[in-house]
Amino acid sequence: MTMMENPLSGLTGEQRKELIVELGKNGKDKVAEIFESLNDILRQYDPTTLISILSAYGLTVGAGDGGVQSKESSGGLNQAHVELVQALALQIPENELGALPVTPDIVQKVWDRLIEIGHAFKFSRMNVELLESSNIEMAINQVQEFLRSHTQMVRNWGFHSQVVGISKELYSHFDGEIYNKFGFSATNAIDVFKVLTESVEEKLSKRFNILSDLKSTKAPYDMLVKYHELIGQGKNEADRFSENIDIKKMSRKNLFAMILSHFDLRMPDYYFINSHELSERLKIDESIIDNVLSHFSYRFGDLRDEKKEFLFLENPVWKKPVISSYSGYYCVLPQLFFSFVLDTLNEIVEGVDKKSLHDRRADYLESKIKEVVKTRFPESQVVSGVKWNQGEAQYETDLIAFIDSHAIIIEAKSQRISRPALRGAPDRIKRHLEEVLIEPGIQSNRLEKKLNDLRVQDEPDDSLLKEIPVDIRSINKALRVSVSLEDFATLQTNLRLFNETGWIPDDFAPCPSMNLADFETLFDFLEHPVQIIHYLLRRTELEGNYKFMGDELDFMGLYITNLLNIGNMVSDDEAEVIISGMSEPLDKYYMSKDQGILIDKPQPKISPFFKKIFSKLEERSTARWTEIGCILNRFPPDDQRKLVQHIKDLSKVVHRTWQSDDHNNIVIYKPPESSEYALVVVLFKDENRDKRYEFIDHASALGLEPNHVKYCLIIAINIDNDDLPYHYIALAENRDSESSHNKRVN
């Protein structure tokens, strides 16, 4: 953890105003100046080559047996920058484009300018009037800027295989209607861009291997000959080239750099689309390929009327990433299709069957959630469309999954997130906030309260009881989660950004909210079902108490590190905990898996002793096993390690002193006052096993002794028998501080 002070905290109000005015003006001037310089370059140098080189060097990352190295290139250039220069090139008619060969200095200049303009655009939006705004207005502006920054730069809403799978499952439903109107189906479009993405990766990998082999050539002359053979020439051409540049005076390093810059001029070849080859690979008619390419392409000059300053937040190439030129089709950014696939295919479906799209999205989301839940909880009972009454009003809950003593209430939200909202339109942001986050949260909280009320009644009588497949008394804990089909720029994970906007009701009880891809990832990466329940439990607790900045995958990465046990590391309620980047282990694993590289799946740092307990609990599936597992997960990895060591040390003592009536055989974990859970471990031997329940009762009383402790988990271990991780386990509950009741799980 690193604490950071506000860099403007030492400035006076007037100094802040002057700084903001200057930053805003400089940002606007810089954006205009860079646009002009980029336009000049595109009118002098071949744009297809330039864009191809930028993409190849800026957007590719290494991969090997150890997995994908990173999810982003180290050079600072990202996909949004290349999208921008492609759109700028498409504003220029083809006969006005530059034709000069692209040299390394030009590439570096454009590279630097693109990074610079991205920062300048953010500063250009700074407005001094905000300093005079109310807290509510400033809070709304903060949300707007968060959305704009996300829209400008972030492209991934799921891992590639997830995006392909979800989009195909969702939209293949409309294949027939789309084909009849457009001459290709949704599946055709998805398959074409999937293969284009794979093809580019294959070609660039082959290029890298060729260059690696070339670079390893020891003699400069041999390197020169080998290069000429590579480009279809021979020794005679190599000799003439050698005479002109006198390679005897050149180092291998400088010669390779010269060869590389020359070879880069062929970069567009890697992005050229051969319709016949695509047709053969996909086993579909070539005319279908041409229809897809025609629909998803722009010709040079097509974007001449687009305002340059709008390209940051609404770039036309997002929906049509293919370049159509005199020489054929090129797709430098085939992955771009999948970044915006939901929005793109929604528009296409609306052109053929707008009425059915809403129902299809809702049905698909609910069925997919149910499928995901069953992957980790095959024995669970999942019911959908549960209708229930609260007074005169009737409500319907999308899904409820009953797992042991837990009921997981899931609200599925298939609403579209509109482009104006992602550009910062406050009325649209507020509407989506209510539809996707607030309303489902209120709905699920209402049901949670109803379930809690019913389970404590002596003879509950309610129509809801006929809708659920379990005895209401078997439910001891209800959890809530909202799952959306689309990503809301990670705002679903950063709800506290809305705290000062006045848009969230005072009595709103937040719960974990995530998009479908992240929900699927959660159920895949956590292999112990009890950890999924514990994750949702801890996310709920943190949601209402801390201000985090990061996405759902970052929370999962934090869970790997400390099981979301943050202790007292954040004492200031207003402190912002930035966890961005914590998702790196998961990113590496799933991106590597998409590339066919299998590396170890990242897992929470659980001690082997605790893992054995989890496995045994899951194997026996005795009542309330999930509650016991959740309590065990409340102990962070360091505490687990210390506890295991205490047990080992005490075992040695018990072996020596067990015959003494007052021997010490209890390990007590005393929780901080912020926790209502205690843990005690009782050790016994074969010789005194008849006293084990006496030991357990005594340990239970000690664990429940603190006033803030409501539950105590008791684990008893026979240290003469290591066949099981535990020989008795029980959950003691302190009810009204008058009596405790053991719920034994032997």
Q: What is the pLDDT of residue 133?
A: 85
Domain locations in the chain?
Answer: 19-153, 349-594, 608-745
Please count the other Cβ atoms lying within 10 Å of the Cβ belonging to residue 327. 10
Q: Name the band, by pLDDT with cuts 50, 70 and 90, for residue 684.
A: very high
**Secondary structure of residue 125 in the 3-state scheme:** coil
**Secondary structure of residue 734 in the 3-state scheme:** strand
Q: What are the phi and psi torsion angles at 393 (to 5°)?
A: -90, 145
Over residues 210-239, the pLDDT tens digits come to 999 999 999 989 999 999 999 999 889 988
Q: What are the phi and psi torsion angles at 406 (to 5°)?
A: -110, 140
| 393-403/406-413 β-pairing | antiparallel
Report the interhelical angle of 104-124 vs 13-42 (nearest 10°).
140
Q: Name the band, by pLDDT with cuts 50, 70 and 90, for residue 744.
A: very low
pLDDT over threshold 50, residue 741: no
Over residues 150-193, the pLDDT tens digits come to 999 999 999 999 999 999 999 999 999 999 999 999 999 999 99
CA 626, 554, 642: angle at the middle one, nearest 5? 55
Q: Name the band, by pLDDT with cuts 50, 70 and 90, for residue 8.
A: low
Q: Name the band, by pLDDT with cuts 50, 70 and 90, for residue 70.
A: low
Residue 739: Cβ-neighbour burial (10 angstroms; 0-12, 13-18, 19+)? exposed
Q: For tokens 């903060």, what's the residue? A: 142
Q: What is the mean pLDDT of residues 29-49?
A: 97
CA dist., res. 330 & res. 272, Å (int): 5
Q: What is the mean pLDDT of residues 504-521?
A: 93
The DSSP symbol for 373 reads: H
The count of C-alpha atoms lying within 13 angstroms of the C-alpha of 715, restricted to the half-sphere facing its C-beta, is 27
Report the Cα 269 to chain-centroid distance in Å: 33
Q: What is the pLDDT of residue 743?
A: 47
Q: Average pLDDT of the chain? A: 91
392 contacts: CB under 8 Å, gap ≥ 6: none
Over residues 613-649, the pLDDT tens digits come to 988 888 887 778 899 999 899 888 888 999 999 999 9
Q: What is the pLDDT of residue 199?
A: 96
Over residues 434-483, the pLDDT tens digits come to 999 999 999 999 999 999 999 989 889 999 999 999 999 999 999 999 99
Q: What is the pLDDT of residue 248?
A: 78
CA 296, 301, 302: angle at the middle one, nearest 5? 40
Over residues 183-194, the pLDDT tens digits come to 999 999 999 999
Over residues 515-552, the pLDDT tens digits come to 999 999 999 999 888 999 999 999 998 886 777 889 99
Report the Cα 726 to chain-centroid distance in Å: 37
**Secondary structure of residue 240 in the 3-state scheme:** helix
CA dist., res. 12 & res. 32, Å (int): 31
Helix runs in 59-134, H state only: 79-90, 104-124
Report the interhelical angle of 186-215 vs 275-282 (nearest 10°).
110
Q: What is the pLDDT of residue 740?
A: 43
Q: What is the pLDDT of residue 92?
A: 98
**Least confident interval from 463-472, 559-568, 660-669, 702-711:** 559-568
Q: Of 109, 106, 124, 108, whose CA–CA distance to 31 is shortest?
A: 124
Q: What is the pLDDT of residue 172?
A: 97
Q: Of 578, 568, 565, 601, whose CA–CA distance to 673 is shortest?
A: 568
Q: What is the mean pLDDT of residues 28-39?
A: 96
pLDDT over threshold 90, residue 204: yes
Helix runs in 601-676, H state only: 608-620, 625-633, 637-657
